[in-house]
A and B are shown apart, each in its own frame.
Chain A
Amino acid sequence: MASVPITVRRARDALEARTARVPYRVKLALVWVVIFVVLAVLFLSYGFDTDFMLEWAPFILGGTGITLLVSVCSIVLATVLALIGALARLSKNPVINGVASLYVSAIRGTPLILQITFVFLAFPQFARFAPTYMEGAFLLPAIPAGILALGVNYGAYMTEIFRAGVQSVGHGQIEAAHALAMSPTQTTRRIILPQAVRLVIPPTGNEFIAMLKDSALVSFIGVSELFFRASKVGQQNFRAMETLIVAAAMYWLVTSVFSYFQAKLERKMARGYVRETSHGH
């Protein structure tokens, strides 16, 4: 650019020339490190309480297990619901399809935080219609209530992902299976699902990473997970900056680790059906 002073331009060119052999990724990492150091210096010089942070970090980070537990259970439930939902959405039976499309529409049309609260606070009201021995089923403790709500919510979104996966299997293959006297059930189980599953594994991984973060919402019904602990301790001691940074770092670490494996998985899946072949080029 013409407006850049000549000395700056020269310095930049010189720097570029001297660092030409440094890989781009290393440069990126350096930029990150510099930003971290600058932020750390700023925080420390403005009364950032590291002692407090270290004192409470173990308690806050102790919520990670519950965050993971809630996320894993919810994604499993969501996967099951999405599979059923997808097959139901593709069904020609109007009752089955109607139930499934209502589920997807209602869940996608309401806030997740409302659904979580609903399961926890509104479900117990059903208990009075239930026989005594079943009342317990409507009075869910916070963690199961959170898992149920998150699973049902993600299941609705993932229904559409799974449906696309099933639909991606070519019509010709389905006809070929039928022509080979395979029943619709056999065709689904042996031909459609194996291909659809392969296709939906990467997006399901993405959903799981999103779930790790959305699971923080179950703090609103009192589940003592990562974010809940951080915000509680922070509020009570007017040290929210310290505690939230601890929680944020943990979320970041966990999602980064899963993103790494997710990316690897995605690359592997993208290779298609060419593995285990006899020639090796």
Chain B
Amino acid sequence: MATDVITIQQLDKHFGDLHVLKEVSLMVQSGEVVVLFGRSGSGKSTLLRCINFLEEPSSGVIQVGDLRVEVGPALRARREKIRQIRERCGMVFQEFNLFPHLTVLENVIEAPCTVKGEAREKASKRAMVLLERVGLAEKAKEYPIRLSGGQKQRVAIARALAMEPDIMLFDEPTSALDPELIGEVLAAMRDLARDGMTMIVVTHEMGFAREVANRMVFMHEGQLVEEGPPSQIIGSPADERTRRFLEAVL
């Protein structure tokens, strides 16, 4: 039986008066690909960002592997746990967020060298393998400014993978891309899923979801409304709100 690598319990998040996440609970098993979707402003990004504490939850529990973090003061022990969670969760952003002053290769080895103290040479060798995998080995010495959006996003994926994470979080990785560049990024993600990576993906690419996801979760106004395998969610959604949303996207 596969084990849960991510457990989210009773997660609440407020931004001032705005109640963005309402008692969200979600479990993700090792090797599972979960697609999270829903209207703009429903809280998808916030949920994802709470998992690696880019956003501090208002209440609730986040557990990644054996690292369990509850809401509380930023004590040293808690900060260290959060750091370890971040090592285990790679994240890919809509806007790529590459480091413009570093070459592609330097972007990829930055965290392994700085955070884990890995030797540059060894990290570079691993980085080249990862860049090869996303089809960008020949761009290793380029600066990000010289890359297309699709190439940037693939570098961002390689950069996250360089930390050897157990889980990958994707926040609308193809939304900022021209339509003709979406395919190459989705291909890299598909490849990753095939290798058994645990993934939570926020996306509205229903074709990708149908093909790659084990489970789809529909989010509405800060709550997880409905979940199930893609065939069921896309084919015959039970909830009225899911159905209306899907009609609008498909």
Contacts and interface: CB of A to CB of B under 8 A. Distances in A.
B65 to A, nearest CB: 14
A269 to B, nearest CB: 12
B12 interface: no
A278 interface: yes
Interface residues of A, number: 24
Nearest to B112: A180
Nearest to B94: A172
Contacts of A175: 54, 93, 97
Contact of A195 (B89, B100, B143): B100
Contact of A273 (B52, B83, B95, B145): B145
Interface of B: 52, 54, 83-84, 86-87, 89-91, 93, 95, 97-101, 110-111, 114-115, 141-146, 156, 159-160, 163
A180 B145 contact: no
7 contacts: A181-B84, A181-B163, A182-B110, A182-B114, A183-B83, A273-B100, A273-B143
A268 interface: no
Q: Which 5 A-B pairs have the closest CB atoms?
A: A180-B111, A176-B97, A181-B86, A172-B97, A179-B91
B169 to A, nearest CB: 8
A277 B141 CA distance: 7
B94 to A, nearest CB: 9
A274 B115 contact: no
A191 B110 CA distance: 9
- Majority secondary structure, A binding face: helix
B101 A194 contact: yes
B127 to A, nearest CB: 13
B79 to A, nearest CB: 9
Interface string A145-188: 00000000000000000000000001011011111111100100
A186 to B, nearest CB: 5
A126 to B, nearest CB: 39
A191 B54 contact: no
A178 B89 CA distance: 11
A170 B93 CA distance: 13
A111 to B, nearest CB: 39
Q: Which of A176, A183, A190 has the most chain B CB atoms closer than 10 A to its own CB? A: A176
A179 B110 CA distance: 13
Contacts of B146: 274, 277
A190 B86 contact: no
Given A274-B145, A274-B146, A277-B142, A179 B86 contact: yes
A276 interface: yes
Given A274-B145, A277-B142, A179 B101 contact: no
A175 B53 CA distance: 10
Contact of B99 (A173, A198, A272): A173
